[in-house]
Structure 1
Amino acid sequence: MTRTVYVNGEYLPETEAKISIFDRGFLMADGVYEVTSVIGGKLVDFEGHSARLQRSLNELDMANPVTMDELLAIHRALIEKNQLDEGGIYLQITRGAPADRDFAFPDPDETPSSLVLFTQVKNLVNALAAQKGIKVISIDDLRWTRRDIKTVQLLYPSMGKMMAAKAGADDAWMVEDGKVTEGTSNNAYIVKGGKIITRKLSNDILAGITRAAVLRLAKEAQMVVEERSFSIEEAQEADEAFVTSATTFVFPVVEIDGKAIGSGEVGSVASRLREIYIEESLKTAL
């Protein structure tokens, strides 16, 4: 089935969608994005994603071409037009298309931001990786230092995914100054002595929407959470490890750099957090 996508005010067949070659997202990676999961035809944590989107835009002095109510309506229309039951909606806002390529930002009054959305079908709830766990490798974190902004500058994370694949792993955890920052597209955690440990928020990592929800649910379930940095060596000696993101929810990590974590099997803490997260998400989805 040909998808219907949204491009700057129009719903179009994906084969007819076009963006200017002068768009700064294409030329400069001058844009931000969000991915909102869909379960049972409903949006998971839309308010959290829209709030983070606005923060990213503000940090880059970029205008939002629509209101949040309009954005919600576009998401719902795409779900309906594409009959999306489970998967995600990708949203991207770029600074738009000036008359010609230039390092200087265009005047936002003269060049409106460009908005694109499309759907993706994906098995989220019963993902195989959640049942068997994933293997990760460690790589140096060579990204720019404003990782708290969800920009479309994803070349190095993409390279990290490929490094992992070549090593026979599923993903990579990035390391800076001897400590894990985050995964290529997720936040990273370890569990030791029943305590959940994850790096605290700063410009070093993205403030994951799923991260916030999972940590809140963990505390409500009387689990102990400690926000601090940890090394790969500490992670390898942990009882469990896992990652969170909008489309993985909670994925257990069973191996890091070839060393099994704990028993090498999916752990109880990660499994319980995934179960709770899906339960609560279904209750609050829009």
Structure 2
Amino acid sequence: MALAYFNGKIIGIDEPVIPIDERGHQFGDGVYEVIRFYQGKPFMMKEHLERLYKSAKAIKLEIGKEQEELETIMLQLVEKSGLADADLYMQATRGIAPRNHLFPTCPASISITVKPARELSQDVRTQGVKVALLPDERWQNCYIKSLNLLPNILAKQEAFEQGCFEAVLVREGIITEGSSTNVFIVKEGRVQTAPLSNHILAGITRMAVKEVAEELKVPFIEKSFTPEELFQADEVFLTSTTSEVLAVTNADDCQIGDGRPGSLTMQLHKGFRQKTR
């Protein structure tokens, strides 16, 4: 069953708990992570938590719990839920205090939810997805996994209204990432994705795919690319915790490759799934 946690107490998923003056609610003043559990085991939890604390440090947020303590809480919550395959969402905010832009002197607020893992349909896996290229209108510090996701939401919604699965974002003529994914192209057997910078999130699945590529002896290039290079790629794919490795077969009504998920994309997804076991 789905469960939640709020500041030390395990609660029902639908139980109302967030006070009006909670700073995540008022300002989006916080950071978050999504961790996938496969057969009751967390995938790359250490890497997720390291990124969480890095994001918190970037916004000067003291989470108030050591990484090991937070990990224990998460594992206990998933075990109590009884879910084998689960999506765990965790966020830390600057706490509960009267609305004021300046930092309050109060403890951080921590909330967690555990829900059944969202699985993409087999049709989506075998057919690939369509994406729309849209302007990257986000702030300059996208490496922080912040609660401030309104530009991402607007881009995702615009893509959805165009009949697309995802928005691929373009900043100054260069593709950065998706609204909730990292973006890769394949050309002549080489995998390419944008280099890490303040303009993209250092994806955990991205990290796993890099490891899989190295194991397969596939060149993995961290180099910026343009929309034109994406349109002319042999294959395109997205990565994220919930989508794993997902083929793109159409971008802005332009067919990618032969219009089917590419063989290297499928190999990388197979290798990724092996890692989750």
Shorter-chain TM band: over 0.9
Which residue does the alignment assign to 1:37? 36
In the alignment, the residues of structure 2 paired with residue 169 and residue 126 of structure 1 have an alpha-carbon distance, to the nearest angstrom, of 15
Which residue does the alignment assign to 1:27? 26
The TM-score with structure 2 as length reference comes to: 0.96
What are the ranges of 5 or more consecutive residues in structure 2 without an aligned counterpart?
Answer: none
Which residue does the alignment assign to 1:16? 15
- Residue among 101, 110, 123 paired with 1:103: 101
Displacement of 1:144: 0.6
In the alignment, the residues of structure 1 paired with residue 176 and residue 155 of structure 2 have an alpha-carbon distance, to the nearest angstrom, of 13
Which residue does the alignment assign to 2:92? 93
Aligned positions of 1:150-169 closer than 5 A: 150-169=145-164
Are the structure 2 counterparts of residues 127 and 247 from structure 1 closer, same or farther at C-alpha, using a change threshold of 3 Å? farther
CA RMSD of aligned residues (A): 1.4
- CA offsets 1:3-27 (integer angstroms, 9 cap, x no match): 3210000001123340121111111
1:87 touches 1:124 (CA, 8 Å); kept in 2?
no
- CA offsets 1:173-217 (integer angstroms, 9 cap, x no match): 000001111001010000001111100001010000111111122
Are the structure 2 counterparts of residues 139 and 250 from structure 1 closer, same or farther at C-alpha, using a change threshold of 3 Å? same
- CA offsets 1:204-234 (integer angstroms, 9 cap, x no match): 1000011111112201210011111111111
What are the ranges of 5 or more consecutive residues in structure 1 without an aligned counterpart?
Answer: none
- SS of the aligned residue for 1:15 comes to coil
Are the structure 2 counterparts of residues 91 and 44 from structure 1 closer, same or farther at C-alpha, using a change threshold of 3 Å? same
1:134 touches 1:253 (CA, 8 Å); kept in 2?
yes
Number of residues of Structure 1 aligned to a counterpart in Structure 2: 277
- CA offsets 1:129-156 (integer angstroms, 9 cap, x no match): 2222111000000001000000011111
1:84 touches 1:121 (CA, 8 Å); kept in 2?
yes
Displacement of 1:125: 7.9
In the alignment, the residues of structure 2 paired with residue 213 and residue 276 of structure 1 have an alpha-carbon distance, to the nearest angstrom, of 9
- SS of the aligned residue for 1:262 comes to coil
Amino acid at match of 1:84: L
Which residue does the alignment assign to 1:72? 71
Aligned positions of 1:215-234 closer than 5 A: 215-234=210-229
- CA offsets 1:154-185 (integer angstroms, 9 cap, x no match): 11111111111111111110000011110010
Are the structure 2 counterparts of residues 74 and 17 from structure 1 closer, same or farther at C-alpha, using a change threshold of 3 Å? farther
Amino acid at match of 2:79: E
In the alignment, the residues of structure 1 paired with residue 162 and residue 262 of structure 2 have an alpha-carbon distance, to the nearest angstrom, of 23
- SS of the aligned residue for 2:238 comes to strand
1:65 touches 1:115 (CA, 8 Å); kept in 2?
no
Amino acid at match of 1:70: E
Displacement of 1:84: 1.2
- 2:264 matches 1:269: yes
Which residue does the alignment assign to 1:187? 182
2:128 touches 2:249 (CA, 8 Å); kept in 1?
yes
Worse overlay, 157-166 or 72-81: 72-81
Identity of aligned residues (%): 36
